[in-house]
């Protein structure tokens, strides 16, 4: 299954970013620290390619700290890019954004040349929570649902520092299948765009290999990490369902309830601190996804180039 979600208001966001970025000094891209590669918007990179970029790995308190360190090194090695990790609900780390922005654009600042920053990110990545932290009040709507913010906001963080917030935006075609499932698992995709059971199975396929001990601690499976990793995904979900009482009449597994339980436990970090991808893994997924998409486009072009059969009517 390929997961895609690009509702109409995201087209408007794309147009707004295209216009706004002309006058921007620094672009801040909020990423989900649990899926930093999958939550990086390639369309945003295209629209803002000429601007210094600050990558903010948000929700670091929910992510695997060792993998967060790998991702910070990965992004900080890129030109005109800085990366920091934070939990948007904590005031002190959030303030580091202002300092990092001045490092990327050292000639901006003061009343004559105020800093103009555009903050972007996928839906439900925590932008609104961060803005509320800056402002010390509820300046923006927040919620555990993709697509809460629908309009651009202009916020003065200081007399010479202006922050332009945009609604969360994905991209028209997700060519990396693994990214689609990771985005769905994190809550960045609308509920009508995916099947809970498929997402839960894909999620468990990753967790059983890297975080088997966390699965056992949460669901009391009574199995070694090796045994959990060897279980087929469906059997693992069934075992979790039986341990957690996600059952229907006659003791049958309620697959929908079990899937929702696993996804909710991941999103709330009840399972523990988890990151679904490393830079190396994502690079491999991206190459495979781009190749598959290029092959698809080539086949489509070939079909369109074939001469049509003559009309024999």
User: Could you tell me which of 35, 29, 32 has the C-alpha nearest to residue 47?
Assistant: 29
Instruction: Indicate if the pLDDT at residue 239 is higher than 50.
Output: yes
* Mean pLDDT in residue range 56-79: 96
Mean pLDDT taken over the chain: 87
151 beta partners: none
CB atoms within 10 A of CB 86: 23
Task: Check residue 112 and give its pLDDT.
Answer: 85
Instruction: Indicate if the pLDDT at residue 313 is higher than 60.
Output: no
Judged on CB neighbours under 10 Å (0-12, 13-18, 19+), 130 is buried
Task: Check residue 32 and give its pLDDT.
Answer: 97
Task: Check residue 307 and give its pLDDT.
Answer: 56
CATH fold of 177-267 reads Conserved Hypothetical Protein Ylqf; Chain: A; domain 2 (1.10.1580)
pTM of the model as a whole: 0.86
Question: Domains of the chain: which residue ranges?
Answer: 8-165, 177-267
* Mean pLDDT in residue range 207-211: 98
Task: Check residue 303 and give its pLDDT.
Answer: 82
Q: What is the CATH number of domain 8-165?
A: 3.40.50.300
Q: Which residue has the higher pLDDT, 305 or 217?
A: 217
Task: Check residue 6 and give its pLDDT.
Answer: 63
Flag the least confident range among 120-134, 199-213, 218-232, 260-274: 120-134
Task: Check residue 193 and give its pLDDT.
Answer: 85
* Mean pLDDT in residue range 178-192: 93
Q: What are 112-159's pLDDT values in tens digits?
A: 889 999 999 988 898 888 887 777 654 444 444 444 444 567 888 778
* Mean pLDDT in residue range 302-310: 65
Q: Which residue has the higher pLDDT, 97 or 266?
A: 266
């Amino acid at each position: 299954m390929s997961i895609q979600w690009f509702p109409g208001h995201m087209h408007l966001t794309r147009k707004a970013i295209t216009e706004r970025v002309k006058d921007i000094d620094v672009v801040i891209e909020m990423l989900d620290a649990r899926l930093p590669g999958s939550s990086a918007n390639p369309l945003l990179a295209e629209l803002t390619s000429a601007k210094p970029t600050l990558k903010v790995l948000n929700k670091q308190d929910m992510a695997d700290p060792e993998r967060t360190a790998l991702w910070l090194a990965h992004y900080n090695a890129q030109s005109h890019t800085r990366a920091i990790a934070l939990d948007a609900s904590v005031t002190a780390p959030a303030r580091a954004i202002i300092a990092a922005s001045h490092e990327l654009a050292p000639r901006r600042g003061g009343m004559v040349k105020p800093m103009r920053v555009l903050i972007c990110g996928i839906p439900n990545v925590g932008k609104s929570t961060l803005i509320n932290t800056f402002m010390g009040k509820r300046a923006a709507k927040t919620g555990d649902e993709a697509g809460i913010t629908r309009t651009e906001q202009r916020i003065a963080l200081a007399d010479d520092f202006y922050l332009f917030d945009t609604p969360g935006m994905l991209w028209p075609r997700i060519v990396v299948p693994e990214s689609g499932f990771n985005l769905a698992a994190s809550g960045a995709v609308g509920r009508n765009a995916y099947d809970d059971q498929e997402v839960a199975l894909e999620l468990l396929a990753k967790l059983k290999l890297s975080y088997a001990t966390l699965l056992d601690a949460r669901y009391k499976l009574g199995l070694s990490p090796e045994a959990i990793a060897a279980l087929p995904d469906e059997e693992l979900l069934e075992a979790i369902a039986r341990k957690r009482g996600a059952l229907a009449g006659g003791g049958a597994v309620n697959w929908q309830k079990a899937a929702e339980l696993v996804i909710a436990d991941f999103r709330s970090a009840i399972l523990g601190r988890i990151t679904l991808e490393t830079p190396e893994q994502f690079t491999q997924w991206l190459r495979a996804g781009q190749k598959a998409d290029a092959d698809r486009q080539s086949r489509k072009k070939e079909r369109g180039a074939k001469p049509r059969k003559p009309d024999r009517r």
